[in-house]
Chain A
Amino acid sequence: MVERWVTITNRLGLHARAAALLVRTASAYQSALRLEREDRTASADAKSILSVLMLSAARGTKLLATAEGADEAEAMAALCGLFASGFGEKES
Chain B
Amino acid sequence: MSRRRNTQSREERWRGRAVSEGVVVGRVLRVFSGARQVYRATLDEADIERETRRFRAAIRLARRQLLAVKARAEKKLGAEHAYIFDAHLLMLEDRKLLGDVETFIREERCNAEWAVKVAADRLLAVYEEIKDDYLRERGSDIEDVTQRILVALGGGRPHLRQLTEDAVIVAEDLLPSAVAELDIEHARAIATDAGGWTSHTAIIARGLGIPAVVGLRDLHRRARTGDRIVVDAQQGVVILHPSQATVEQYKSITSSEAVTAPFPVGQGVRVGPARTLDGKEITLRANVELPAEYEDVRRFGAHGIGLYRSEFLLSHRGAMPSEEEQLKAYEEVAELAGEDGANIRLFDLGGEKFGAATGDGERNPALGLRAIRFSLRQEDVLRTQARAILRAAARGRLDIVLPMISDLTDVRRARRIINEERARLEQEGKTVGPVGIGAMIEVPSAVMSADKVAREVDFFSLGTNDLVQYLLAVDRANEEVADWFRSLHPAVLQSIERTLDAARKAFIPAVVCGEMAGTPAYAVILVGLGATQLSMAAASIPRVRRVVEGIKFADAQQIARECLECEAADDVEEMVRVRFAELWPHLFPPKSLPAPRVGE
Please report A residues at the B interface, Cβ cutoff 8 Å.
10-13, 15-20, 23-24, 45, 47-51, 53-54, 56, 58-59, 88-89, 91-92
Q: How far is it, in angstroms, between the C-alpha of A23 and the C-alpha of B93 when the chains are bound?
A: 11
**A49, chain B: closest CB distance, angstroms:** 4
Residues of A within 8 A of B132 (CB): 13, 56, 58
Segment at the A interface, from B83-91, B219-227, B251-259, B474-482: B83-91
Pick from B83, B142, B323, B380: contact of A17, CB under 8 Å: B83
Residues of B within 8 A of A19 (CB): 87, 90
Pick from B319, B321, B323, B356: contact of A58, CB under 8 Å: B356
| B94–A92 touching, CB < 8 Å | no
Beyond contacts A12-B357, A56-B132, A92-B319: 18 other A-B pairs, Cβ-Cβ < 8 A, are A12-B134, A12-B355, A15-B135, A15-B318, A15-B319, A16-B84, A16-B141, A17-B87, A19-B87, A19-B90, A20-B90, A45-B96, A49-B90, A49-B94, A50-B91, A50-B123, A92-B322, A92-B380
Which of A20, A50, A89 is most buried by chain B, counting CB atoms within 10 A of its CB? A50
Instruction: Give chain B's interface secondary structure class.
Output: helix
**B16, chain A: closest CB distance, angstroms:** 33
CB under 8 Å from chain A, chain B span 312-329: 315, 317-323
Q: How many A-B residue pairs have CB under 8 A?
A: 90
Residues of B within 8 A of A23 (CB): 90
Pick from B87, B131, B323, B380: contact of A16, CB under 8 Å: B87
| A48–B322 touching, CB < 8 Å | no
Residues of B within 8 A of A20 (CB): 83, 86-87, 90
User: Which residue of chain B lies nearest to A88 when distances are taken between CB atoms in the complex?
Assistant: B322
| A91–B322 touching, CB < 8 Å | yes
Residues of A within 8 A of B315 (CB): 17
| B320–A54 touching, CB < 8 Å | no
A-B contact pairs, 21 of them (CB 8 A): A10-B319, A12-B134, A12-B319, A12-B354, A13-B132, A15-B134, A15-B318, A15-B355, A23-B90, A49-B90, A49-B91, A50-B96, A50-B142, A53-B138, A58-B356, A59-B357, A89-B320, A89-B322, A91-B380, A92-B322, A92-B384
| B96–A16 touching, CB < 8 Å | no
The count of residues in chain B whose C-beta lies closer than 8 Å to any C-beta of chain A is 36
Residues of A within 8 A of B322 (CB): 88-89, 91-92
**B55, chain A: closest CB distance, angstroms:** 17
| Residue B4 lies at the interface, judged by CB distance under 8 Å to chain A | no
Pick from A24, A54, A91, A92: contact of B127, CB under 8 Å: A54
Q: How far is it, in angstroms, between the C-alpha of A51 and the C-alpha of B425 when the chains are bound?
A: 42
| Residue B130 lies at the interface, judged by CB distance under 8 Å to chain A | yes
Q: How far is it, in angstroms, between the C-alpha of A20 and the C-alpha of B138 when the chains are bound?
A: 13
| B135–A48 touching, CB < 8 Å | no
| A48–B96 touching, CB < 8 Å | yes
| Residue B10 lies at the interface, judged by CB distance under 8 Å to chain A | no
**B346, chain A: closest CB distance, angstroms:** 14
| Residue B71 lies at the interface, judged by CB distance under 8 Å to chain A | no
| B356–A48 touching, CB < 8 Å | no
Residues of A within 8 A of B319 (CB): 10-12, 15, 17-18, 89, 92
Given known A11-B357, A15-B319, contact A54–B126 (CB-CB < 8 A): yes
**B119, chain A: closest CB distance, angstroms:** 10
Q: How far is it, in angstroms, between the C-alpha of A47 and the C-alpha of B135 when the chains are bound?
A: 18
**A88, chain B: closest CB distance, angstroms:** 8
Instruction: Name the 7 nearest CB pairs between A and B, nearest first.
Output: A92-B320, A49-B90, A16-B87, A48-B96, A20-B87, A56-B130, A56-B135
Which of A13, A16, A51, A89 is most buried by chain B, counting CB atoms within 10 A of its CB? A16
Residues of A within 8 A of B318 (CB): 12, 15-17
Q: How far is it, in angstroms, between the C-alpha of A69 and the C-alpha of B319 when the chains are bound?
A: 33
Residues of B within 8 A of A89 (CB): 319-320, 322
User: Which residue of chain A lies nearest to B98 when distances are taken between CB atoms in the complex?
Assistant: A48
Q: How far is it, in angstroms, between the C-alpha of A48 and the C-alpha of B91 when the chains are bound?
A: 8
Q: How far is it, in angstroms, between the C-alpha of A56 and the C-alpha of B133 when the chains are bound?
A: 10
Residues of B within 8 A of A10 (CB): 319
Q: How far is it, in angstroms, between the C-alpha of A19 and the C-alpha of B141 when the chains are bound?
A: 14
| Residue B97 lies at the interface, judged by CB distance under 8 Å to chain A | yes
**A25, chain B: closest CB distance, angstroms:** 12
| A45–B87 touching, CB < 8 Å | no
| A16–B83 touching, CB < 8 Å | yes
| Residue B163 lies at the interface, judged by CB distance under 8 Å to chain A | no
Q: How far is it, in angstroms, between the C-alpha of A13 and the C-alpha of B142 when the chains are bound?
A: 19
| Mask: chain B, 355-385; 1 = CB below 8 Å from A; 0 = not | 1110000000000000000000000110010
Q: How far is it, in angstroms, between the C-alpha of A12 and the C-alpha of B127 when the chains are bound?
A: 17
User: Which residue of chain B lies nearest to A19 when distances are taken between CB atoms in the complex?
Assistant: B87
Residues of A within 8 A of B142 (CB): 50
Residues of B within 8 A of A51 (CB): 94, 96
Given known A12-B357, A19-B87, A20-B87, contact A53–B135 (CB-CB < 8 A): yes
Q: How far is it, in angstroms, between the C-alpha of A58 and the C-alpha of B135 when the chains are bound?
A: 10
| Residue B95 lies at the interface, judged by CB distance under 8 Å to chain A | yes
